[in-house]
Structure 1
Amino acid sequence: MGRYADMDGDLQRLPEGFQRIGYDADTSVYTFSGPDGKTYESEPGNRFGKLWPVGEPRPQRSDADIEAANAAIDEDNESALRTMLPFALLILVFMILVFKLAVMRFKSVRARPVRQRSRRDSVESFLKPEKGRVDSFVQVEKNKEYD
């Protein structure tokens, strides 16, 4: 249930004696009957608001009114941009750091010399005992043979 559920009906929103009698979907205009028997129309797109008698010309908006509305829209756009700017800055800094770390990682991997080893080198180094170690497997085996 909405916050202002008690103000959703026509009885609460319309002036005394007014009743909604129709809606034109093509023009988005509501039609109302007044207490004096005349019919009234709302502004296009507005369910409630100013009501104008049918058949009478509505006052046109002046250039100053239109400029004021456009200025308000521009101000809202600038306000939204100012609100989003800190988040965009955080995302930009994060992306720069990720890129910088990726480049540093790539350079460090590339800078290390890669020693090409053949299969024979790896087998020989596995079988060869380490120099200077008395307890190597080969030395122990040789000692067993002579004992």
Structure 2
Amino acid sequence: MDTEKSRSWAEFLLPLYAVALIYIYMRPEVLPQRTEEGPLGAVVVWSVWAVIGTLAGILAISGLVVAFYLLYSPIYLMQYGSRQFFAQRWGIVWTDAREVQFYWICLVVLCTLGGLALYDPFLAAIVFVMLAGVAPLFWRIACKYR
């Protein structure tokens, strides 16, 4: 099995699942409930719940990675961000400019999410779930075109 194709399939599926998760949260009546269709209907319901649980775990791991980078960005910029200035001044390269740029973007996203959470926490949670859903796809695009 080609890992490149399987990863791209997961990167395509995770944003769709994030949108579906938000839709299901808004309308919980669309979730499969009990069925009176016998054993086959019960298998279908359990299969749907297995897929929902599996994708929720993958989305949760992606959310943890996104949260780590967002919360670590101020710490990184305090410790290593100033080295970029001294590296350009003295001619010694300590950090990569793209790395510092990545953490600046993370800090801007963190501040934006924090401000949005103060204004509307529910909307901030929706934006974070969507960000966690598209994070692997954004990471792939950023790594491909750097």
Tell me which protein shows more strand as a share of its residues: 1
**Larger RCO, structures 1/2 (Cα 8 Å, 6+ apart):** 2
TM-score, reference length from structure 2: 0.29
TM-score, length-scaled by structure 1: 0.29
